[in-house]
Structure 1
Amino acid sequence: MAVNRLADEYPYAYSDFYPSRTPCVFKSGPDWPVRKGPLGQGVEREARPVYEWTFINPLAYANAGEAKPFCSLILFIGVKPYSLLYEAAVAATAVIKEILAEAGFPDIEVAFVESIVTRSLATGPKLLSFDPLFNNVPDLRKPFTTALGLSIAPLNHPHFEGTAALYFRLSKDDKRTAILTCAHVARPPPVYGNTGMTGGNTGRQPREEFVALGNMGYTNAVKAMMHTIGYLLYSIDAWNNALVRLGELVEGEDEETTERRRQYEELVANATKKIKEVNTLHDEVTKRRTTPDQRVIGFALHSERIEVSVKLHGFTKDWGLIELYEEKIDWFTFQGNKVYIGGNLSLTDFWKTMFSQPVDQANYRYPRDGLLQAYGVVQDDEFRNPQHLDVHGEKCLLVVKNGLTTGTTVGRTNGLESFTRTYDDHGIKQTSIEIAVLPYDKTHGKFFEAGDSGSVVLARDGRIVGILTGGAGPMDETQTAYLTPYWWIEQQIKAKFPDSFLYEVVQ
């Protein structure tokens, strides 16, 4: 859309309501103040309340930072983009002004602006806070929180799911926050062509909104709660049977029997308490987050056109950004870019796999509350010359991720070898260089499964290695995962969003 489309007829089309992107077709009354010279369109306006066409709003307007409005009352009338010509807006304004004057309100001004009404955000709750130290049943709670590994899906196509990678601030001058994912997650190929998009589609088309937890993610999370309750009930039954065999406390009973009874009673009490905690979470989730509409968190801000073998390095360009609605995040408890390495990977298992050699263990500390802070970047030369030691004492780059499908998994990158894959869903047949991530060993299972695309992969110390784009191999065999190095993705993001940066470290 050319900038002069409206300004040729009405010179203040893009300055009257600056910095809003809402273009004004025509506004009655005296010209609003503007700066002269190069900054003539840079005066920020602030709408003031006067206690949705697409909508009609009665508003007052003032320059940003000034208390007194220069326009005491204006009828702000929204029309669909491209639906109203300048001449028609002028004519309609004259009629409206005449009606207002006859009603005794000659000083009320009128503005026609191009806009669309979007669905209210008030219908859905915020994402849950996540503090494994204080939150009950953190493993079951995690899918509904802002912890990295968040499942996301398009609102209108919630069966196409992927994983969010990292949080970004879009600039230092505003509070807008976005999450990084794969382009094929942001705009799934069965639904969208490989054209890319930017700007959030806020002009002529509605926003492509996203939900936290698509169909699979939500169903699996609720099933996990029910399975947990079922297991606990089964265990309580077995422990109660043992208590029956132990009998009631009798005088002169041996200490071993007394202690064993106490242990079983404690197991029953703890399991009963945990069932209540799971039921509380289940009630919260099923009452307030059942439908995708209730789980909307943002919209597609940008999605790259997927390309393979991109010069100079031959990597795959497959990334997108989802901008978050500010009111959907509890910023007071927001943890930022931290990956939960708990769940199906115990504290001891993380230590044994990631720091198996004594030379690595001297300064090792398990991440506080199992949250590994993403900080720093693994550069290209370390892929060629890794310094971690595996369980066999061999040098490698040990990595961890938390994704939608497989949760927390550990693996190792495969050095300098190039691996290729195809994007058949996009009609791309060429091969592309990717970094392979192999499972840690057979006992730890697959590193990646469908749905994990978009997950951030971290080195054992939290440095960012890359973003998962896919995997390969027969489904009944251990898969090889593929990632694009983050150091290269960061360059691509900076080229499109030069003011963006990784969300600040949250202490």
Structure 2
Amino acid sequence: MRAWEETQASLEDDFAAPLTGSSCWHDDPRAVSQAEALSYYAGLPSEPVLVYRTGEPWSPPRGPEAQRRKKELRPVFAHPIVDLWRASLGMAVADIMDAQTVYFTTIDVVRFRMLDVDQADSDDEDADEPPAPADGPVTIWVGVLPESTSPSTAHTAAQAVLALLARHAIADVDVAFRESLYTRLAGAPRRPTSAPDPLAASALTPAAGASIAARRGAHGTLALSLDAGDVAHTLLGLTSRHALFSDKDGNFDYVGSAPARPRDVVLLGPRAYTELVDAIRVKIGRHAIAARHRRAQIAELLAEEHAGDARAARHRVKTEALLAAAEDAMAALAARLHALQRRKDPAARVLGRVLRAPRVALGAGEERFVEDWAVFCVERGKLGDGFRGNVLDIGTTLCADGLPAPSLPAGALPTDLSTSHLPLRGILTDAELQRPQHVVTHGAARGASLGTATGAFSLVREYFACDVRVHRTAFAWAVLGAGSDSAFSPGSGLGLRVGEGASAGGEFARPGDSGAAVVDLQGRVGGVLVGGAGRGGAVDVAYATPFWWVLERVRAGGFPNASINVG
């Protein structure tokens, strides 16, 4: 088993390395031009290198100020391939790749949307207006190990896939290959998109989305809490196994009742703790600067007021209110900083010990999902006053000014949604996972993030270190970053606003987000993040294991009455 873990460690290093264009196939008759290879996926988070594709011929950007045409990923629903994919087509495509010795890492079913269009020539006065962006054809998007697959090999495999689809009367699908890696999303997270919220409820309490760690150099995310359903109502924390066990630990079935190797789970790993402390200090400093400025303003206004300026009195009252708000904010932040500093020692932030962590397995069960979960006991005495049960801290990602956006369709959001906490209640069924889903997560690295789930589950693969002919393959629920005109974008007509600490478009998850829960806008839990596809440290597609299946495995693993109904 050690070789599997060595492979994963190597892939994590490769995943973080910058991606460069592959030039070893330039003499291949099926090779695309270097310009197409390097620019075809412009706009995607990792901008992967194109190896080969079917479809319309590519032409360089045109116009007086030609730039690379940017694309974004789009989900696929209401297409015949969705219904057939998990039943037969998905593994049949994987078999074709194996038959042609294509070392694939992921196989996704997606569409692409062109965000940029060519400008008309400046002297062409009769040129039509550029067309509005539209979704391209359904694409079987194959990620391959860098420099492992020649364009001619990819061409042969693509033709076999198209022939397979034709036998199922599907003729409107392209096949494309890009260099990309599949990796698990634990690890020391990159600095978040925005500074962590120093007053977030999840900062010092084990809320869904909290940063947790059990080993040096790696962070994971708490998916949610479970009630064990026993007489004592034992509280359990759920996350991914690989966020708590290192590659050096080995891939074995961990049962916490054996005291030989107890493993503590800590709230806020070293880096997350340091970043939160730094964020608080920065905000205190900003409020202090504002307070000094307000005091100087008040002194000037008092002088003007004594000179008989009536307007100065009104302005002074407003400025004094702003000063009071800044001082109140500093006091709250100082209290939070003091509470953090009292728990500087990781031992003071221990939530509990791991109880159960089955070995990581790809292709587990009849469904062939990724089994990668761990549960740990949470000591209720350490919850603190801020614990609210299963709520996801989403900042203002789904609300505007503290209220649900008024232009949302009826029933799109829970009626009791607060500004920053989405209650988790209910579980998405397998059938619902294959329908259009707007989803949200909160990862320890990415923070609050919005996305769209795809209808056809992706295939993900890990290889054996000593022999790439030995591998493990699984289906995973794929999630894309919210698109430019999705329900999460300003001006989309649905009223959903991206608030501080969240992003629409780009990456849905980052290294360090493994274990995070993926939920729909009603708070129904859809999956648990386990991995991603990309390169250069960027994630193009995030992958989750369906939560309904994870909960079944948790129950079968020693907690038969476990539920998300936490009191």
**TM-score over 0.5 for the pair:** yes
The one of 249, 262, 270 equivalent to 1:215 is 270
TM-score (norm 2): 0.56
Tell me how far apart the structure 1 counterparts of residues 537 and 413 of structure 2 sit (CA, whole Å): 39
Q: CA deviation at 1:406?
A: 2.1
The one of 143, 146, 157 equivalent to 2:206 is 146
Q: Which residue of 2 aligns with 1:250?
A: 306
Tell me how far apart the structure 2 counterparts of residues 432 and 385 of structure 1 sit (CA, whole Å): 20
Q: Report SS of the residue matched to 2:410.
A: helix
Does the 8 Å contact 1:146/1:335 carry over to 2? no
Tell me how far apart the structure 2 counterparts of residues 471 and 259 of structure 1 sit (CA, whole Å): 56
Does the 8 Å contact 2:451/2:508 carry over to 1? yes
- Closer/same/farther in 2, CA of residues 429 and 221 from structure 1, 3 Å limit: farther
The one of 207, 230, 235 equivalent to 1:177 is 235
The one of 372, 379, 383 equivalent to 2:422 is 372
Identical-residue share of aligned pairs (%): 27
What is the one-letter code of the residue matched to 1:323?
A: C
Query: 1:382 and 2:432 equivalent?
Result: yes
Q: Which residue of 2 aligns with 1:308?
A: 362
- Which sits farther off after the overlay, 368-377 or 218-227? 368-377
- Closer/same/farther in 2, CA of residues 243 and 431 from structure 1, 3 Å limit: farther
Tell me how far apart the structure 2 counterparts of residues 419 and 362 of structure 1 sit (CA, whole Å): 30
Q: Which residue of 2 aligns with 1:341?
A: 394
- Which sits farther off after the overlay, 464-473 or 260-269? 260-269
Tell me how far apart the structure 1 counterparts of residues 228 and 443 of structure 2 sit (CA, whole Å): 24
Q: Which residue of 1 aligns with 2:473?
A: 431
What is the one-letter code of the residue matched to 1:150?
A: A
Spell out the pairing of 1:479-494 with structure 2 (5 A cutoff): 479-494=540-555
Does the 8 Å contact 2:413/2:522 carry over to 1? no
TM-score (norm 1): 0.62
Query: 1:201 and 2:258 equivalent?
Result: yes
Spell out the pairing of 1:37-436 with structure 2 (5 A cutoff): 139-140=199-200, 142-154=202-214, 157-189=215-247, 191-202=248-259, 205-240=260-295, 242-243=297-298, 246=301, 248=303, 249-250=305-306, 252-255=308-311, 257-286=312-341, 288-330=342-384, 334-342=387-395, 345=397, 347-348=399-400, 358-360=408-410, 365-368=415-418, 370-386=420-436, 397-422=437-462, 429-436=471-478
- Closer/same/farther in 2, CA of residues 498 and 237 from structure 1, 3 Å limit: closer
Tell me how far apart the structure 2 counterparts of residues 500 and 420 of structure 1 sit (CA, whole Å): 31
Tell me how far apart the structure 1 counterparts of residues 205 and 368 of structure 2 sit (CA, whole Å): 36
- Closer/same/farther in 2, CA of residues 236 and 163 from structure 1, 3 Å limit: same
Q: CA deviation at 1:463?
A: 0.6
Does the 8 Å contact 2:227/2:566 carry over to 1? no
Q: CA deviation at 1:219?
A: 0.9
Q: Report SS of the residue matched to 1:432.
A: strand
Tell me how far apart the structure 2 counterparts of residues 245 and 474 of structure 1 sit (CA, whole Å): 56
| Cα distance per residue 1:172-197 (max 9 Å; x no partner) | 323322111101013222x3101121
Q: CA deviation at 1:358?
A: 4.3
What is the one-letter code of the residue matched to 2:274?
A: T
| Cα distance per residue 1:173-232 (max 9 Å; x no partner) | 23322111101013222x310112113432xx1421121111112111111111111222
- Closer/same/farther in 2, CA of residues 207 and 423 from structure 1, 3 Å limit: farther
Q: CA deviation at 1:373?
A: 1.7
Does the 8 Å contact 2:450/2:482 carry over to 1? yes
- Which sits farther off after the overlay, 401-410 or 231-240? 231-240
Larger radius of gyration: 1
Q: Report SS of the residue matched to 1:422.
A: strand
Does the 8 Å contact 1:187/1:303 carry over to 2? no
Does the 8 Å contact 2:402/2:418 carry over to 1? no
Does the 8 Å contact 2:458/2:477 carry over to 1? yes
Q: Report SS of the residue matched to 2:519.
A: strand
What is the one-letter code of the residue matched to 1:253?
A: D
Does the 8 Å contact 2:457/2:475 carry over to 1? no
Tell me how far apart the structure 1 counterparts of residues 423 and 546 of structure 2 sit (CA, whole Å): 18
Q: Which residue of 1 aligns with 2:515?
A: 454
Q: Report SS of the residue matched to 1:321.
A: strand
Does the 8 Å contact 2:433/2:526 carry over to 1? no
Does the 8 Å contact 2:223/2:517 carry over to 1? yes
Q: CA deviation at 1:350?
A: 9.2
Does the 8 Å contact 1:439/1:478 carry over to 2? no
| Cα distance per residue 1:111-139 (max 9 Å; x no partner) | xxxxxxxxxxxxxxxxxxxxxxxxxx873
The CA RMSD over aligned residues, in Å, is 3.0
What is the one-letter code of the residue matched to 1:489?
A: V
- Closer/same/farther in 2, CA of residues 363 and 262 from structure 1, 3 Å limit: same
- Which sits farther off after the overlay, 264-273 or 495-504? 495-504
Does the 8 Å contact 1:163/1:454 carry over to 2? yes
Q: How many residues align?
A: 349
Q: Which residue of 2 aligns with 1:18?
A: none
Q: Report SS of the residue matched to 1:269.
A: helix
Q: Report SS of the residue matched to 2:242.
A: helix
